[in-house]
Amino acid sequence: MKQVDVEADQTFDLLDMQNYRIEKLPKRQKTGFERWLAIVGPVLAVLSFILFAFVIKLPFLQDIDSAQLVSDEAKKAFEKLGSFQFTRMNEFMLAIFIAGIILWITEAIPNYLTSLIIIVSMVLSGVLSEKVAYAQLGHPVMWLNIMSFVLASMLVATGVAKRFALWFILKFGKNAGTIFLSFIVINVVLSAFISATTAKAAILLPIFMVIAAIYGARGGDARNNFGRSIVLQNLFYINIGASGFLTGSGANLLAAALIAGATGSTVFFSDWLFAMFPIMIGMLLIGYILAMKIFFPLSSEERLPQIEGGMDRLREEYKKLGEINRDEVKSVIIFLLILGFWSTDRLHGISPTAVAFVGGVVALLPRYGIVNWNDVDIPWHLMLFSAGAYTLGAGLDVTDLPSISVNAFFDQLGISNHTPFWVLYLILTAVMIFSALIFQSKTMRAMIFIPIAIGVAGRFGFSIVSLALPVAFMIEHVYVLPFNSKPAALLYETDQYSLTETFRYGFTLMVIGWIINIIAGETWFRFLGITPDGVFGLF
C-alpha cells in the first residue's frame, strides 16, 4: 500500500476538516470566455431592454384580447388598463425579463444586484406596483428559506449534522464501496430536514474531502478516481436528494405554489413524497453504479487508504464532539416534529412554511432555545437574488406573458389543438431539465417554465397538474456544469475533477433522469392520478 508522508507537508494538514471550510477554499478564476461574457453582458442587457421595450413590436403582443388571458391577475389588469396600456406593460415585462436573464447568465454584476435592478425596473415601468414588487421579499418561500437556514444553523451549531455524518461513515464505511453508499443515506436524511442544498454541501464538504485525502486524492495534478467520484457523487446526491421532498429546496415549493395558484388546490408534501421519493432513490443508486463501474472505476490501489491511520482522524473528530448533549437531543426532536408535520400536511393543512416558522421560533427562544441569532448564518445575498426571481414571477402573472407567448408560438407553427398529450409531455419536460445547462438558478427556471407548462395545459385542454407537476419534478437536475447551482460552483473549487469529467457524468445522468420521468409519466404517475386516464400515451 502506498503511503503518503503527511508530516512532510507542514503548511497544510490533509486530514484537518477546518482546512476544507467554504471560506478557505480557493476562489476559481474566471476563464477567458467567462470574462468576455462579463464585459459584454451589461451592453447586451441594455440594448435588449431598449429594443424590446421601445423598438421591436412583436405581433403577438399587439392588440391583446382579454380572451387570450388565463391569469386572474392579468384579467383584472386588462380591465383596469385597457388593451393599449396592457400591451405596453407586456412589452416592458418582456424587456425586463430578457435583460435580467442576460445579466444573470453572464454574471456581469452580482446576482443579487441584478435582482435589485429587476425589482425597481418593474416598479418604474409600471408593470408592478411598489407594494406588490417589494412584498416579494416576504414571499412564503422566502420565509421558508430563512427558517431553513435558521434550522440548518442549529444543526451546525449543535454538531448534530456532523455527528450523524461521521457516525454513519465510521459505522458503515468499512471500505471504499460502502463509503459511497453511506453518503447516499446521509444525503437522503439531510435532504428531509434541510431545504438549502448549499447548506448540505457546506456540512458534508469537510467530511468527504478528508476521506478523499485518506484515499490519496490531493486535487490538481494529484487527482484520482476516488476524489473525482466522491465529490461528483456527493454533488449529484445533494441535488437529487432534494428532488424527493417538497421542502427539498425553495424552488420545489415555489413550483408547487405556482401550480396551486393555477389550480386552486394544494400540492401537499405527501403528494410530492409519494411521487418522487422512489424515483429519487432509484436515481441515486444509478448515479452510484455509473460512477463506480463506468466513469470513475477504482483501481485496486485506489480502494485502499493511502494515509495510514487516516480513518482514526475521523474517529478523533467524532470523539471531539463528546457525548450527545441536551441541545443536540432538542435539535433532533424539533426536526423529527417538523418532518412529522410536513409529512402529514394533508391531514392538518398547515403549510410547510408555517411549520418551519414554528421550529425556527422554538430554536431561537432565549434560555429554552438552542441557537443564538448571532450563530445563524443566512446568506442574504441569495435571499435578495430569490426576491428578484419572485418579482419576475409576479410580473409574469400580472401580464400573463407566458400564456400569451405559448399561444402565439403554437399558432405560428400551426400546431393543432389536438396534439397528443405525450408530445407536449416530452417537449415540456425536456425543456425544463436541459435548461439547467444554461440557467444557473432553479428558482429562475421554476419561474419561467412552470407558467409555460400551465399555459400549454390550458391551451390544449389537459389537466394543469398532468403537465406542470412532472415539469416541476425536473427542477433539481443542476449538477452538470459548475455554474448550474451553488453546490456545483462550490464543489468545483475543490479541484478534484475537470469540466469534461463533470459534464460527461452529469449529462448522462440528466438524460437518464429525463427518460425515467417519461416512463413514470406512463406508469407511476398514472397510478397516482397525475397523468390522467384517457390521454394518448407512449406505451
Residues of the chain with pLDDT under 70: 1-31, 34, 70, 219-221, 306-310, 415-417, 440, 534-539
Which parts of 365-400 fold into alpha helices (H)? 380-399
Instruction: Tell whether 131 and 42 lie within a shared domain.
Output: yes
Which residues are within 8 A (CB) of 318 and not within 5 positions of it... i.e. 6 or more apart?
Answer: 163, 166, 167, 170
Last residue of a domain, one of 350, 378, 406: 378
| pLDDT for position 307 | 65
Which residues are within 8 A (CB) of 249 and not within 5 positions of it... i.e. 6 or more apart?
Answer: 195, 196, 197, 242, 442, 475, 476
Q: How far, in Å, CA of 152 to CA of 49, rounded? A: 39
Instruction: Tell whether 38 and 122 lie within a shared domain.
Output: yes
Instruction: Tell whether 153 and 112 lie within a shared domain.
Output: no
Alpha carbon 202 to chain centroid, angstroms: 15
Last residue of a domain, one of 318, 351, 378: 378
Instruction: Tell whether 100 and 153 lie within a shared domain.
Output: no
Instruction: Tell whether 100 and 150 lie within a shared domain.
Output: no
Q: Cell match 443515506: residue?
A: 185
Name residue 421's amino acid.
Answer: F
Q: Is residue 527 part of a domain?
A: no
| pLDDT for position 535 | 63
529 grid coordinates: 392520478
| pLDDT for position 223 | 80
Q: Is residue 56 part of a domain?
A: yes
Taking each helix axis as running N to C, give the angle between helix 197-214 and helix 176-193, from 0 to 180 degrees, rounded to the nearest 10. Answer: 160
294-325 core/surface letters (b: 16 or more CB in 10 A; e: else): ebbebeeebeebbbeebbebbeebbeebeeee
90 grid coordinates: 407586456
Give me the phi and psi of 62, to 5 degrees please. -90, 140
| pLDDT for position 113 | 92
| pLDDT for position 368 | 81
| pLDDT for position 353 | 85
Nearest to 253 by CA among 227, 271, 229, 277: 271
| Three-state secondary structure call for residue 219 | strand
**Cα distances (Å, whole numbers) of residue 189 to 151, 179, 200, 237:** 15, 16, 11, 11
**CB-CB contact of 479 with 500 (8 Å):** no
185 grid coordinates: 443515506
Instruction: Tell whether 105 and 45 lie within a shared domain.
Output: yes
Instruction: Tell whether 66 and 118 lie within a shared domain.
Output: yes
Residues 174-180: contacts with CB under 8 Å, at least 24 apart: 175/303, 176/215, 176/226, 176/298, 176/302, 176/303, 176/304, 177/292, 177/303, 179/211, 179/230, 180/229, 180/230, 180/233, 180/288, 180/291, 180/292
Q: Is residue 113 part of a domain?
A: yes
| pLDDT for position 21 | 56
| pLDDT for position 27 | 60
| pLDDT for position 78 | 86
Name residue 504's amino acid.
Answer: R
Instruction: Tell whether 130 and 151 lie within a shared domain.
Output: no
Q: Is residue 112 part of a domain?
A: yes
Q: Is residue 106 part of a domain?
A: yes
Nearest to 449 by CA among 434, 464, 428, 479: 428
Give me the phi and psi of 219, to 5 degrees please. 85, 165
Using only C-alpha atoms, what is the Rg of the chain? 24
Instruction: Tell whether 153 and 81 lie within a shared domain.
Output: no
Instruction: Tell whether 111 and 38 lie within a shared domain.
Output: yes
Structural domain count, the chain: 2
State if pTM tops 0.85.
no
Instruction: Quote the domain boundaries for residue 350.
Output: 146-159+327-378
Instruction: Tell whether 33 and 129 lie within a shared domain.
Output: yes
Instruction: Tell whether 77 and 153 lie within a shared domain.
Output: no
| pLDDT for position 509 | 96
Tell me the residue length of the chain.
Answer: 539
